[in-house]
Structure 1
Amino acid sequence: MTDFLTSIYPWTKAFHIMAVISWMAGLFYLPRLFVHHVERSDAIDGLAPVFEMMEGKLLRLIMRPAMIATWAFGLLLVFTPGIVDWSAVWPWVKGACVLAMTWFHHWLGLRLKDFSDGRNSVTGRQFRLMNEVPTVLMIVIVLAVVVRF
């Protein structure tokens, strides 16, 4: 099995990077949609359901499959011999950040449910602040993987 993982390593890495890019795009965009949903949906009658449809499709059709693919290809990379040095700090930092990013993904899903149930209590400003979470996590992950501190 390890020979197989080693032989497909370039493909695994490529698909992992593509999945991460897709997931990150959604993690950056969904909170911005929430900002507009909170601040603009009352301005035009019938706009809230349009936001909910857009947000739901983004989460279900793009973000969730991308997150699953990111995890799947990432775990294949972890199990590929010689890729991860567990005595270093970087894989632990990356792992913690990926767990935090996954938590954030699920937090966004709960906020979408709040909108659907008509009980959103998060303001546009709070969504703007939360929009910085994936940016900070991405910076830490990229530095950890590339610099390997």
Structure 2
Amino acid sequence: MQDLLVTIYPYAKAFHVMAVLSWIAGLFYLPRLYVYHAERGQSGTEPAASLTIMEHKLLRFIMRPAMIATWISGLALVMTPGIVDWSMIWPWIKAICVLGMSAFHGWCSVQRRELAAGRALSGRTYRMMNEVPTLLMIGIVLAVIVKF
């Protein structure tokens, strides 16, 4: 198994980067849709119906598969011998940030159902929450590149 992981490492890494880009793009865009939905999409109106469809499809067909692909490829990278030194701080910081990103994804899923049911938070709240994936991404990139 270890020989296979070493052999596929460059492909797993490339796939991981592509999956992360797709997932993060969705995590950046979905809260922005929530802002529009909360501020302009009154329940039962055309904007609300269109936003509900867009939110659902973004989560189900882009973000969820990208998150799963990110986790699978990331775990393959972590299990590759010689790649991660768990005695350093950076893999722990990255792991915490990835768990935070996954929790944020879950929060987005809950909010989609709430918005579809006509129970929205304020547009200001969604704007503030839109910064969460950016902060987590900064933590992940710094941890992986700087390796402190």
TM-score normalised per structure 2 = 0.97
> Which AA in structure 2 matches 1:67?
M
- Partner Cα separation in structure 2 for residue 30 and residue 116 of structure 1: 14
Q: CA deviation at 1:132?
A: 0.3
Aligned pair in 2 of structure 1 residues 43, 81: CA closer, same or farther (>3 Å)?
closer
How many equivalent pairs are there? 148
Please say if 1:138 is aligned against 2:137.
Answer: yes
Deviations 1:13-47 (A, max 9, x none): 00000000000000000000000111111399322
Partner of 2:70 in structure 1? Answer: 70
- Partner Cα separation in structure 1 for residue 59 and residue 12 of structure 2: 24
Q: CA deviation at 1:125?
A: 0.6
Please say if 1:37 is aligned against 2:37.
Answer: yes
Please say if 1:3 is aligned against 2:3.
Answer: yes
Stretches of structure 1 that go unaligned for 5 or more consecutive residues are none
Partner of 2:101 in structure 1? Answer: 101
Partner of 1:81 in structure 2? Answer: 81
Question: Would you identify which runs of 4 or more consecutive aligned residues in structure 1 move more than 4 Å?
Answer: none
TM-score normalised per structure 1 = 0.96
> Which AA in structure 1 matches 2:128?
L
RMSD across aligned positions (CA): 1.3
Q: CA deviation at 1:72?
A: 0.2
Stretches of structure 2 that go unaligned for 5 or more consecutive residues are none
